[in-house]
Amino acid sequence: MLGRFLRTGPWCLLAAGFMSSAWAELPVEQITVASLPPASPYRLYFTDVALPHLPDGRLYVIDGRNLKLEGMVSTGSFAQTTLAPDRSEIYAVITYFSKLNRGERHEEINVFDATTLKLKAEIPYPARHTQALPSIATMRTSADGRFILVQNATPATSIGIVDRRQGKLIAEVPTPGCYGVYPAKSTDRFSTLCGDGTMLTVSHDRDGNPTARKKSGRFFDPDEDALFTSGAQAGDVYHFPTFKGKWQSVNVAGETAVAETPWSMIDAKDAKQGWRPGGTQPVALHQASGIAYVAMHPMGAEGSHKNPAREIWVFDVAGKKRLSRVKVHDISGVAVSQGEQPRLFAFAIERPAITVFEGGPRPKPILSGPVPGDTPTLLETHQ
């Protein structure tokens, strides 16, 4: 009887009245979208293909001064990303399937405002961009930012030229046997590395229409000592480490790419210990100083070119000499900011983390810590 009284009597009415009063006092929540804080020269853009959940890739915006997450954009399946030259926009070529991971394949280039991360535009794109780990060489812009250049692979390779202002594909250039996008700085051209040891250069007019295609002479042996496709750019020159530890520079300004004589980053003692470059993004270059950073691992062998690094080697590119060595743990890529006080960023993939160093000829660690992500493979800096 007492239980029934409590459920139906004045106690129940009192409790109901109290809860009703409490609910009435709750403020109405307003959903808002916050803008990112002003970008520092050390802002980072970390692209994650998210192998454990491929249809849900992400690009993380991270403050490189403290490794705090500032924002994120969704990038669907196997997105390739790049930034506008002035860092005002983020571009991602994205694959969507009608049934999440199968069905009809749809692609587009999403344009995000780099300040608010709001979606600004969706540019239609044919369903054939490369389904690969995000890389510095799979999506780039022309030097003036007008054209977005996309690596395709079906598996036949080609490069799409997309006009950012018009929001449409201008041309698709077949590049059989070649891979990677390397735009020139001073001319309307881009080049691509070829499996026969050459480089193909494509010239185009101001509207993006291809006007010429010319191959260089053979300057490397892909069977004996291949180049990493993640090259470091300085103006019209791209610098590529080779699998066995040589440094190969190529000028892409002309109708035909011109390769310089390679030089070895590894001396006889290093060679005995099997030191080689490795990782998904093994080289970074501070352009003003000409100081390069290369991720290196010992006991290298055939197939070890993706192994994480145990050291970062620092080089004077003009002098062709090593300046210092820095011990690291399982680093898969490096990036460096381009200001007067550069910072070097080294990232790990398996347990995503970033280590920050003072830049210069003898990097000193500043901080290190975990960052969001599952399998991030591409790191770009704001400056």
For the residues of 188-208, what is the DSSP string, one character each? Answer: SEEEEEETTS-EEEEEE-TTS
* Best CA proximity match to 284, nearest among 324, 217, 330, 232: 232
Q: Is residue 338 within 8 Å of 288, Cβ to Cβ? A: yes
- pLDDT (mean) for 78-102: 96
In DSSP terms, 379 is beta-bridged to: 46
At residue 26, the pLDDT reads 77
CB atoms within 10 A of CB 308: 18
- pLDDT (mean) for 75-101: 96
* Best CA proximity match to 183, nearest among 229, 252, 90: 252
Q: Is residue 179 within 8 Å of 151, Cβ to Cβ? A: yes
Average pLDDT, the chain: 93
Token output for 23: 């609910």
- Which of residues 6 and 326 earns the better pLDDT score? 326
**Residue 23 domain flag:** no
- pTM flag (> 0.75): yes
Query: 69: which residues sit within 8 A by CB, 6+ positions away?
Result: 60, 61, 62, 63, 371, 372
- Percent of the chain whose pLDDT exceeds 70: 93
**Residue 20 domain flag:** no
Q: Which domain holds residue 152?
A: 36-381
Looking at residue 175, its amino acid is T
At residue 1, the pLDDT reads 45
**Residue 135 domain flag:** yes
The pLDDT of residue 126 is above 50: yes
Residue 24 exposure: Cα atoms within 13 Å on the Cβ side = 6
**Residue 231 domain flag:** yes
- Residue 307 CA to residue 213 CA, distance in Å, equals 35
- Sign, CA dihedral 313-314-320-321, equals negative
For the CA atoms of the chain, what is the radius of gyration?
A: 25
- pLDDT (mean) for 345-374: 97
At residue 22, the pLDDT reads 52
Instruction: Collapse the DSSP code of 311 into the 3-class scheme (helix H, G, I; strand E, B; otherwise coil) and give the result.
Output: strand
At residue 305, the pLDDT reads 97
CA–chain centroid gap for 316, Å, is 24
Location of structure tokens 């004045």:
10
At residue 8, the pLDDT reads 47
- The CA distances from residue 300 to 71, 267, 307, 379, in Å, are 38, 14, 8, 24
| Residue-by-residue DSSP string for 274-289 | T-EE-SSB-EEEETTT
- Residue 365 CA to residue 354 CA, distance in Å, equals 11
Residue 67 exposure: Cα atoms within 13 Å on the Cβ side = 17
pLDDT tens readout for residues 128-185? 999 999 999 999 999 999 999 999 999 999 999 999 999 999 999 999 999 999 999 9
The pLDDT of residue 14 is above 60: no
| Residue-by-residue DSSP string for 218-278 | P---TTTSPBPS-PEEETTEEEEEBTTSEEEEEE-SSSS-EEPPPEES--HHHHHTT-EE-
Token output for 249: 């520079």
**Residue 54 domain flag:** yes
Token output for 50: 């998210």
Token output for 145: 């930012």
> Nearest-5° angle of CA 61, CA 190, CA 339?
40
- φ and ψ of 145, to 5 deg: 85, 0
- pLDDT (mean) for 263-277: 97
Q: Kind of pairing, strands 246-251 and 258-259?
A: antiparallel
| Residue 316's pLDDT band (cuts 50, 70, 90) | very high
- pLDDT (mean) for 288-305: 97
**Residue 7 domain flag:** no
| Residue 11's pLDDT band (cuts 50, 70, 90) | very low
pLDDT tens readout for residues 212-224? 999 999 999 999 9
At residue 34, the pLDDT reads 74
- The CA distances from residue 113 to 83, 98, 119, 219, 310, in Å, are 10, 26, 6, 40, 37
Provide the number of structural domains found in the chain: 1
**Residue 267 domain flag:** yes
Q: Residue 211: give its domain's CATH number.
A: 2.130.10.10
At residue 3, the pLDDT reads 47
- pLDDT (mean) for 47-54: 96
**Residue 153 domain flag:** yes
At residue 20, the pLDDT reads 52
pLDDT tens readout for residues 339-350? 999 999 999 999
**Which conformational region is residue 11 in: left (phi greater than 0), alpha (psi within -120 to 50 degrees), or beta?**
alpha
- pLDDT (mean) for 7-31: 58
Residue positions counted in the chain: 383
